[in-house]
């Protein structure tokens, strides 16, 4: 019985994991529209899958659909506050839009969440030194 539960769990997780793998491959190939399509399909079945949500938001970001990317990143930050990458990517959008205050708040929040989060620190550092 125990083995059946393990196999069942693997089967339940497998489609989402393979969809995320597929999305990562599409993104690596810069096929963002296909990645979005794959992500939307997966999210209909597993709407809270954080990896798929993050990858879909990134694909939206890369296609210039920043309003959708912003919403997805903000929802991820709210639902999964331990994830730092959505903060970093959302900060990059705000930096591109010239909203340095919101970007720096996100990056400082990422650093405060995990003090050794080097990506956020390295992103924040050049902008903080420009203010001086």
pLDDT for the residue numbered 13: 46
Among the ranges given (7-11, 56-60, 102-106), the one the predictor scored with the smallest mean pLDDT: 7-11
Mean per-residue pLDDT of the chain: 82
In this prediction, residue 129 has a pLDDT band, given cuts at 50, 70 and 90, of very low
More confident residue, 57 or 1: 57
More confident residue, 100 or 121: 100
The H-or-E segment that residue 97 falls in is: none
Q: What CATH number should be reported for the domain holding residue 80?
A: 1.25.40.10
The count of structural domains within the chain is: 1
Structural domain span for residue 42: 2-130
More confident residue, 110 or 68: 68
Query: Global pTM?
Result: 0.75
* Res. 56: pLDDT tops 80: yes
Q: Tokens 């203010």, residue? A: 131
124 token code pair: 């924040």
* Res. 132: pLDDT tops 50: no
pLDDT for the residue numbered 123: 60
Do 23 and 43 contact (CB within 8 A), yes or no?
no
Do 36 and 63 contact (CB within 8 A), yes or no?
yes
């Amino acid at each position: 019985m125990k083995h059946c539960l393990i196999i069942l769990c693997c089967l339940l997780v497998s489609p989402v994991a393979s969809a995320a793998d597929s999305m990562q491959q599409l993104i690596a190939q810069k096929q963002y529209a296909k990645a979005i399509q794959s992500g939307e399909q997966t999210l209909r079945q597993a709407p809270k899958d954080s990896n798929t949500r993050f990858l879909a938001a990134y694909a939206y970001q890369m296609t210039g659909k920043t309003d959708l990317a912003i919403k997805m990143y903000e929802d991820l930050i709210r639902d999964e506050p331990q994830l730092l990458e959505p903060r970093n990517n959302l900060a990059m959008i705000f930096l591109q839009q010239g909203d340095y205050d919101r970007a720096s708040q996100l990056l400082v929040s990422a650093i405060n969440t995990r003090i050794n989060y080097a990506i956020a620190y390295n992103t924040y550092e050049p902008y903080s030194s420009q203010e001086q």
